[in-house]
A and B are shown apart, each in its own frame.
Chain A
């Protein structure tokens, strides 16, 4: 592979001078990217970066999971149009719509060039726009959102149904667009790290760790070992809290009360353990470029271990109730199935991909930070239905718990926060982290002064929303809330 690819290879959380990155004419970049995707690579990110005179360069970031390496390439500056990658590779479809929206270059042949986030001049929300429609006497359209029952984020779902059966679901997001990437131009600024913590509030540790790793890579250094260890522990605590909450929410959606009530409580326990580490239940103000802001002294370390054991015991019991109930299994099995080929085609990541039997886990495929020294087994389950996604979550709860147990006894000594040098000029850095929803990808390009020329954030939800739309095909519309919960994707992470 490595001898024949035109792409420039680099490891996760590393930095290269931009001059060393392969530069291709844009049509070649599309063709070569398609070639690598055909050979089993995965599109992590695809974005535009401004070039002089109003032109644009495209940057492609690929992951070769089996080779544990990442690859980047960029196009020569161009403007106007370029041949679309989506025509052959569906996983690029949102990326290409995004590039068009941000830089005004048109992917020619793209079948569905709607805006991703921006509202149209004539309308006040992204939902205003065309929706794919199915015609027929029995077909009816159901519009859900952007205002939903319950306290969740805004998003618009448009169903084409024949009776109870969903023929097609189109998801329109963008209501949460806050302009994070635009705010990062010419960064890093003082507020940047706080913005990173709020890209998706429930994925604070993963996003902030990716951002900190980018700055450390650009500075040519690494965080102190003890900081890397603490980041890894905090990442698993974040996963534990969210997966536990999801198990409870899944139980609640099928009206299975015992697990729902218990998991709601235990999720709070896990959040409180994170608060024990850094004083904030969502892990804010913990990870900083150069390390972490809080160390764990021996007292709190012991207390963390105790509370973890108690919470793990409770969550294990609560999920056992769930698996023992035949009525729950009947409800979960064969609901919202995504086939492995579909999952690979649309580029699913995280638990959603692993529940289709795809072995994809950044902690294992592209280890960085503490995960180079310590790993948890990848949790995979075949099937691709709600049952599989719940099962993967449950497995990950057990394995994250086990991971933290093991790591608590093997903390490295030393400081936790170093001063780091300013970012290297004219460079590109890539950092992937396995957040609880999946792969968090940050890419930074610096200009001649060492400021960000472009900073691209790809939340796992950006890959996975398409998976939810596919899961609904041929399913009863009444199963939508359950399927939605089984993916539990982020609106603000997608909308940035």
Chain B
């Protein structure tokens, strides 16, 4: 398939399916709690509704208030295109694309925090401070995970790195990446996506002043980011190199589904942590990825 056809096709599928994930998580939570819960497609309805609405702009905000979410969305979408889907390599695979992905995710974070700071609200300032402080450790964990994959495969291209199984460190890597997934996507125990209390929020509070299409873009970007991390986790842990493309796609879809249900179960059964213990948990995730790196390194040397 030519890249001209493949990139739009991938984008349509990935961006179209992303809002399904929060819907599944909410269904799992409702099911465990004995409630009926919102429809699985709720986020689609929300996005459609927000897209039709007008925007309330603060008189203090610069154009960055709108540009921030747009930059963040584009960065996340670009990052997800860099991911291979099993044997189907990424359309733009090149040496070092993994570094670009990490930087694109950092750029996305910059975009959302920039937009949040625009109104000068104390709430959003606090949210940004939290987001950025926790990101320091979460990014270290991702880099350690990526390094371990890189050391093992001897490659710095995602398509080559994600194909084989990560060997003995697979369990450590899975645990570390899952924890990072929860932190990066503001799920329990790091953040509570359902809370209405501004003082306790991280991600939600950064979008408090946004409305209409920019809010829709922020919400959709968050869903795409969740899908990106789920894909990364599944492909990093499962050996997809040897199987045919349709089977690999089916395995990936099933894996993402399992991860999503796992997130829902964690949210149902675990209370949220106090902010002061969040760095501890994130450091644990970092250490798990680091040990995976050590195992990959030593395993390669032996």
Contact = CB atoms under 8 A, between A and B. Distances in A.
Interface of A: 140-144, 149-150, 163-164, 251, 253-258, 260-262, 325, 327-328, 330-331, 335, 476-482
A255 B274 contact: no
A258 B32 contact: yes
Contacts of A330: 271, 273-274, 277
11 contacts: A143-B122, A255-B195, A258-B269, A261-B34, A327-B271, A327-B272, A476-B275, A477-B199, A478-B274, A481-B197, A481-B199
Nearest to A261: B33
Contact of A327 (B32, B33, B189): B189
Contact of A480 (B189, B199, B267): B199
Contacts of A482: 200
B192 interface: yes
Contacts, number: 86
B194 interface: yes
The 5 closest A-B pairs by CB, nearest first: A327-B271, A261-B33, A255-B272, A481-B197, A149-B196
Nearest to A484: B197
Contact of B194 (A143, A255, A328): A255
Given A257-B33, A477-B199, A140 B275 contact: no
A325 B34 contact: no
Nearest to B123: A142
A251 to B, nearest CB: 8
Given A143-B122, A149-B197, A257 B29 contact: yes
A478 B200 contact: yes
A27 B199 CA distance: 45
Interface string B248-280: 000000000000000000011111111111000
Contacts of A258: 32-33, 268-269
B177 interface: no
A140 B125 CA distance: 11
B35 interface: yes
Given A144-B198, A149-B198, 6 more contacts: A142-B199, A149-B196, A150-B197, A255-B189, A330-B273, A481-B197
B126 interface: yes
Contact of B275 (A164, A256, A257, A328): A164
A257 B197 contact: no
A254 B277 CA distance: 14
A394 B270 CA distance: 20
Given A141-B122, A261-B35, A331 B274 contact: yes
Contacts of A141: 122
A330 B267 CA distance: 16
Given A149-B197, A330-B277, A478-B199, A257 B272 contact: no
Given A477-B126, A480-B199, A325 B276 contact: no
A321 to B, nearest CB: 9
Contacts of B237: none
B210 to A, nearest CB: 15
A478 B275 contact: yes
A150 B194 CA distance: 12
A225 to B, nearest CB: 42
B116 to A, nearest CB: 15
B188 interface: yes
A254 B198 contact: no
Contacts of A327: 189, 270-273
Contacts of B35: 261
Nearest to B189: A327
A261 B31 CA distance: 11
A256 B271 contact: yes
A468 to B, nearest CB: 14
A197 B123 CA distance: 37
B85 to A, nearest CB: 33
A39 to B, nearest CB: 40
Given A257-B33, A330-B277, A481-B197, A140 B268 contact: no
Contacts of A143: 122
B206 to A, nearest CB: 14
Nearest to B197: A481
A149 to B, nearest CB: 4
Contact of A255 (B123, B192, B276, B277): B192
A262 B269 CA distance: 14
Nearest to A265: B34
A472 to B, nearest CB: 11
* B123, B194, B199, B267 — most chain A CB neighbours (10 Å): B199
A254 B196 CA distance: 12
A253 B192 CA distance: 9
Nearest to B193: A255
A251 B195 CA distance: 12
A326 to B, nearest CB: 9
Given A142-B123, A261-B33, A476 B197 contact: no
Contact of B32 (A149, A255, A257, A478): A257
Contact of A253 (B33, B123, B125, B197): B197
A481 to B, nearest CB: 4
A325 B268 CA distance: 12
Contacts of B196: 149-150
B189 A262 contact: no
A47 to B, nearest CB: 35
A273 B275 CA distance: 40
A476 B32 CA distance: 31
Contacts of A476: 274-276
A331 B34 contact: no
Contacts of B195: 253, 255, 481
B135 to A, nearest CB: 16
A331 B200 contact: no
Contact of A140 (B122, B198, B200, B276): B122
A478 B192 CA distance: 12
A260 B194 CA distance: 13
A479 B199 CA distance: 8
Interface string B188-220: 110010111111100000000000000000000
Contacts of B268: 257-258
Given A255-B192, A257-B268, A262 B34 contact: yes
A262 B122 CA distance: 35
Contact of A479 (B29, B33, B34, B274): B274
A254 B123 contact: no
* B129, B196, B274 — most chain A CB neighbours (10 Å): B274
